[in-house]
Amino acid sequence: MLLGPSKPPQISIVPLLKNGENNTSPSAEEALQTLHLPYSNCMVVLTTKQILVYNYKPLALVSSFVRSNYSLEKYGENKRLYADAVDKDMFRDLSPEADIKFLTTSSSKVTFYVTSSMNFVFVFEILLSLGPVSLYKETGLPILDMNKVDHDFGQEMMNNTEDDETLTVFDRTESTKIIQNGYAVDKQQGFLHFLTRSADTLDEIPIKKVELRLQVMFSFGRSIIDLAGFCDTTTRGESKRQQYMMILFPNSVHILFLQNFQMKDNILIDVSDGYRLLQCQGKPCVVSVDAQSKISLTELDLVGKKGIHRQFSYEASGPLVDIFVNDNVLTFVLEFYLLLYDLNADTTIKRIRSQTSLICGGLINHENSILFTKNGFKMFTKWGNCIVSTFDDDDDTERSSESAGPSGFTSIDGSIVTTSFDGKLSKWDIWSKIVTPFNNFRTSTPLILQTENNDLMLFAPTSDSAGNVPFQVLKLPSQTINNYVPLVRTNGSITMLAAFVSNKNILLICNMLTNIWLSFMDLNLIEIQWLGDEYLFCHSLGEDMKQWLRCYHFPIEGGTASDLSELLIWEYAVSSKIDIRSIHANTLSSYKLLKVKSKSAESEKLQNLFKTAEVLIQDDQGSLRTIDIISKIGPGDNIEIKVFHQHPAEKVLVQKERKCHWIMSHNGGYFVNQGDEILKLEKAEEGVWKTSVLLDRIERILDVIDAGVYAVQENKVVVYNIEELWNSKDPVAVVEISEGDYPVVISPEAAIIHSVQFVFSNECSKIIPRQAIYLDQVIDHHLATGTSYQSIDSRYRSLQHYKFSLEKILSGKVLTNEPLSDIVSLINFYDQGPKHSGRLEIISNCLRKIEVEHWDFLFQKLDLSPRDLLLQCIEHDEARVLGILLMVFLNYDGSKKTEDLRPDQNDTSPQTQTEPGSITTILNDDELMLQVLRVLVNTASSSSDRDEAREFWDMSFQLARFIQALDKENKTSLVQRAVQILS
C-alpha cells in the first residue's frame, strides 16, 4: 500500500519536436500519456507525434519513434496508448490458462498499441536484451512473483537468465559517448540526473539496450473508444504466434483472433453507447453511458458470443472524466466529484466532492487509486478513504494556467510518474507500507515503511503516546539500489527484524538492540513470521522447488551463526500435492497450560508446558492444517519451544480459491478474513462447517491484540471485543477517519488510533504522526456492560486523557438527556480523597461545553446548585476551576452586566424573585463574589509562573469590573472591599 511522497518530485522535460525538426505541422505537440509495460523495465511516453521509450529504473530515454508528416496527415495524430497483457484475464475464455498465467512472463519482447485520431491501430514491439527473470534479479523491479512461477512452465524461464548487451549512446553533435556499457560517462548537471550517484547508493543499475519496432497497422472505419490486447509469446515459432485484440466501438465490441497479426477469426457482440472496457471480477465487461447519462454494464460472454446487460441505479450528473474498477467497487470520476459504486450490492458507497476540477485518475494497485487536479493529486483506498493529498482542498482556486496539469500517470515499485501536456515528466518516490501480519496477539503491530533506496522506517508508539512519537529509520546493509524487499517482519518486542531481499535470495536479520546484521545467502523464502521474540517460522522452496516449513532460533542475547542450518530447530517437507495459499503463525495472547508427563524413566512427575502459539495453514482445497507450538516458559516469560504438534487437516473453507488475510482459532471454530469480509466458521456437526458473515466492507484489519479486533470498515475504524464479535454484538468503539489521516497503528492500552499525515513543500516532505482517542467510547462500553468502577479506574487512571474522556462522556449524556448515574459514580470514584479537584474540573468543563438550556438537567442529576459548586471550589481553593466557572456564569448572565443588578428593597416583582442557588442569585451575592475574588488574587500573587499569574490577575480584574457593575450607584462598600483585596 502506498502512503505518501518521501520527497518532492524529480522533474525532467519530454523532448517535444521543434518546428523544422521533422515537424511542419501547425499544431503544437503535446505529451498525452505515459504507461509502464508489464514484465519489463520500459515506460512509454506518448505524444501527439512521437512514441518515446524510457528505461524506468533508472529513468532515461532509450528509444523513440517519430511519426512523419505524411503519416500524421494520412493516419492522424497519436491519440491513446494501451499496454499488452494488462487485463489478460479478460481473454481467459479464449486462451489456455497456462498461457494466460505464464507465457507473457517468458518472452524477451513486449507489445503495446497506439490508436490514432483517424481510427488506426499501430502495434509496436520492443525487443529486450534480457528476460523478465534477469530483469527482476538485476533491477529489483517487482514485475513478477518468483514464488508463483509454475514449476513446469516456468522452469525454462528460471534457467534463462543470460545478460546481453548494455546500452551505448553517442552525442549526435560531438560523436562522443554519453552512455557506455549502460552507465553515464559524464554526469553533468541537468543530464540524466536520475542517475546521479549519492553516498547511499554507490552502485548503479546499467541501462539495457532495447529495439523499438512497428509491427503492423490496422485500419478501422469506426471510432475506436477503447482497446485491450493479449499476445501469446510462446516459443512455438513466429509463424504460429497467437494474438487477441478486443476493440470497443460505440455500439459493438469486436474481438479479433490473430496469428502473427493476421486475421484468423473474429467475434462481434452488440453493445450500445460503449464507454470503457473493464475487467470486472475476472470477467470482460463494457460500461455504457447513454445520452441521458444513464450508466449500464454489459458482461461479455466470449464463448456464447453475447452480452449480459445490467442497468445501474446511478445516473451521472455530468460528463465522465474517467472510470475504473477495483474488484467489486466501480469508481466514476466526474469533473467535481468522485463516486464509488458497489457492484455486488448495486448501491452507491460514497460520493466525494472536489473543490477543484478533476483532470484524470486511475487505479495504482488493488489498494490505491489516484486522482489529479491542476493543483496536485490525492490518493484513495478502495472504499474512498483519502490517504494523502498534495494540495489544500479548502483552497478552491486553481493554480496558474502556466501549469498544464497532468495528462497521464503510471506506477510501479513505490513510485509514480506523471506527464503533462506541456511535456513535463515528474517522478514521485512514495513511501510504501509493507504488509505485515498481525499474528502476535500480545503486542501491537508496528508500521513499517520503505522506499526504493533501501530505507526502512518503523513507527511503533508506546501504550500512552500523547506526545510526538519518533520514527526509527534503518538502512539495509547494502550499497545498491536494486533490492526488492517484500518481506519485513519484527518480533513482538521489536528487538529483532527479519528482511528478505527477494531478487538476491538473501535473508537479513537485525538485532535492533546491538544494531548487528546477520546475512544468509541462497534462500528462496515465500513467507516468514516470528513466533514470540526469538523464533522465525519460514515457508520456503528448495533447490528442487519442493516446499519446506522450517523454524529457526535467533537468541536475542546469543552469538552469531555463519550458517542458517545451525539455527534450525524443526523442519517439515510439504507434500507436492498441497498448494499452500497462506500461513498464519499466531502467538497467543494468553498461554494455555498443559500437564505433560516426563519421559524420564526415573521420574513420573508432571511437567508444566504451555501452548504458546499455533500455525494455521490454508491450502488450495479449502483445508486448514493446525500446528500447535508447545513451549516451556522461562524467567522473564522467555519461551523455549519443545514440540511442534500437528493436527489432521480439516476442510472448513467454502471459498477455497481465495487467500485468507487472517485466520484465528476461537471457541472451537475460526475467525477468517477473506476479501472484504470477516467470517465466522463453526462446526455444526461432525465434518460439517457452518460459515456466516460477521462484518463486510472491511478495507483492512489494523491489528488483533489480546481480546480486541481493530479494523477499517468503509470510512471508519471499528473496535470489537473478540468474544462479542463472535456473538455478532455491537462494536466497542467507532471512530470516523479524517481526510489525509489514514490509521496505521493501534495502542489498545491507551485507546489511541495512530495515523500519519504527509506535509511537504517544493523543498522537502515530512511525515507527522497524529492520534485519535476513543477512550470515552471504551469506558462507556464498560459502564454499559456492568464493569465495576474500580476496575475501570485502575485500568485507565494513569492515562493523561482519562479525565478528558470522563468529561466527554458526561457532556455527551447531558446533551442527549441520558441517565448520568453510572458516569457520575465513576467520576466520584476517580475523585476519592480529601480534595475533589478532578470532579469539580470535570463538571466545570462540562458546563463550559454544553448549551445553557442543558444546565438545569446537569445540576438536577448532580444534586447540586451553582452556589454549591462555587462554595466547594472556594473550600478546596480551586482557583482554576473557579476561573472557568466564573467565565461560564458571567457569559450566562452577560445580558445583565450593564444593569444595576442589586434589587430595589421595595421592588417585589416576580422577575427579581429567584431561587436561592440559581446563577442570578449567586452573581448578586456580594460576599460570595468577594470570596471568589480573594481566591483568585491569592493564587495570582503566590504563583511563580508568570503566565499563570497574569492569567489569574486578568480574571481578578474582570471580576472586579463585574462587582463594580453590581453597585453602580455606590450604595454599599462592595467596591471598596474589592479594591482592598486587589491591593
Same structural domain, 598 and 744: no
Q: Rounded CA gap, 519 and 508, in Å?
A: 5
Domain containing 634 equals 434-651
DSSP reduced 3-state for 740: coil
Residue 308 grid coordinates: 449480459
Q: Rounded CA gap, 319 and 835, in Å?
A: 67
Pairing of strands 487-490, 177-180: unpaired
Beta-bridge partners for 607 = 596
Q: What is the pLDDT of residue 197?
A: 42
> How many other β-carbons are positioned within 10 Å of the β-carbon of residue 532?
22
Query: Which one of 709, 743, 773 terminates a domain?
Result: 773
Q: Rounded CA gap, 878 and 835, in Å?
A: 9
Domain membership flag for residue 752: yes
The answer for residues whose C-beta is within 8 angstroms of residue 444's C-beta and 6 or more apart is 460, 703, 705, 745, 746, 747, 748
Same structural domain, 684 and 732: yes
Cell 474512498 belongs to residue: 384
Residue 237 grid coordinates: 515459432
Same structural domain, 426 and 467: no
Q: Rounded CA gap, 567 and 583, in Å?
A: 21
Intra-chain end-to-end CA distance of the chain, in Å:
66
DSSP reduced 3-state for 93: coil
CB 443 within 8 A of CB 492: yes
Distances (CA, A) of 398 to 334, 354, 393, 801: 17, 12, 10, 41
CB 185 within 8 A of CB 177: yes
Give me the phi and psi of 651, to 5 degrees please. Answer: -85, 105
Give me the phi and psi of 311, to 5 degrees please. Answer: -90, 135
Same structural domain, 131 and 229: yes
Residues in the chain: 983
**DSSP state string for 482-506:** -----EEEE-TTS-EEEEEEGGGTE
Q: Rounded CA gap, 702 and 139, in Å?
A: 32
pLDDT, tens digit, for every residue of 84-124?
Answer: 988 878 888 887 654 445 555 556 789 999 999 999 999 99
Low-confidence ranges of the chain (pLDDT < 70): 19-26, 96-107, 145-204, 233-239, 393-404, 463-469, 559, 597-606, 833-836, 891-921, 923-924, 966-976, 978, 982-983
Same structural domain, 15 and 117: yes
β strands within 101-164, DSSP E: 109-116, 120-128
Same structural domain, 696 and 841: no
Same structural domain, 555 and 467: yes
- Could you give the number of structural domains in the chain? 5
* Burial category of 152 from C-beta neighbours within 10 Å (exposed 0-12, middle 13-18, buried 19 and up): exposed
Same structural domain, 605 and 699: no
CB 594 within 8 A of CB 606: no
Same structural domain, 855 and 783: yes
Domain membership flag for residue 475: yes
The answer for residues whose C-beta is within 8 angstroms of residue 666's C-beta and 6 or more apart is 722, 726
Q: What is the pLDDT of residue 508?
A: 94
pLDDT, tens digit, for every residue of 201-258?
Answer: 445 677 888 899 999 999 988 899 999 998 875 545 555 778 899 999 999 999 999 8
Domain membership flag for residue 335: no
Same structural domain, 857 and 871: no
Query: Which one of 630, 651, 672 terminates a domain?
Result: 651
Domain membership flag for residue 286: no
CB 609 within 8 A of CB 598: no
Domain membership flag for residue 400: no
Beta-bridge partners for 495 = none
Q: Rounded CA gap, 24 and 69, in Å?
A: 7
Same structural domain, 103 and 150: yes
CB 340 within 8 A of CB 349: yes
Query: Which one of 651, 676, 695 terminates a domain?
Result: 651
Q: Indicate the Cα dihedral angle 891, 893, 897, 900, nearest 10°.
A: -160
Q: Indicate the Cα dihedral angle 470, 471, 472, 478, nearest 10°.
A: -150
Same structural domain, 415 and 445: no
Domain membership flag for residue 923: yes
* Burial category of 206 from C-beta neighbours within 10 Å (exposed 0-12, middle 13-18, buried 19 and up): middle
Q: What is the pLDDT of residue 900?
A: 40
Domain membership flag for residue 642: yes
The alpha-carbon radius of gyration of the chain (Å, integer) is 35
β strands within 566-676, DSSP E: 568-573, 580-597, 606-619, 623-633, 639-646, 650-651, 660-666, 669-674
Q: What is the CATH number of the domain that holds 681?
A: 2.40.128
Q: What is the pLDDT of residue 835?
A: 61
Domain membership flag for residue 352: no
Q: What is the pLDDT of residue 200?
A: 44
pLDDT, tens digit, for every residue of 262-309?
Answer: 888 999 999 999 999 999 888 899 999 888 888 899 999 988 899 999
Q: What is the pLDDT of residue 192?
A: 40
Q: What is the pLDDT of residue 168?
A: 56
Distance of CA 286 to the CA centre of its chain: 30
- The predicted model scores a pTM of 0.86
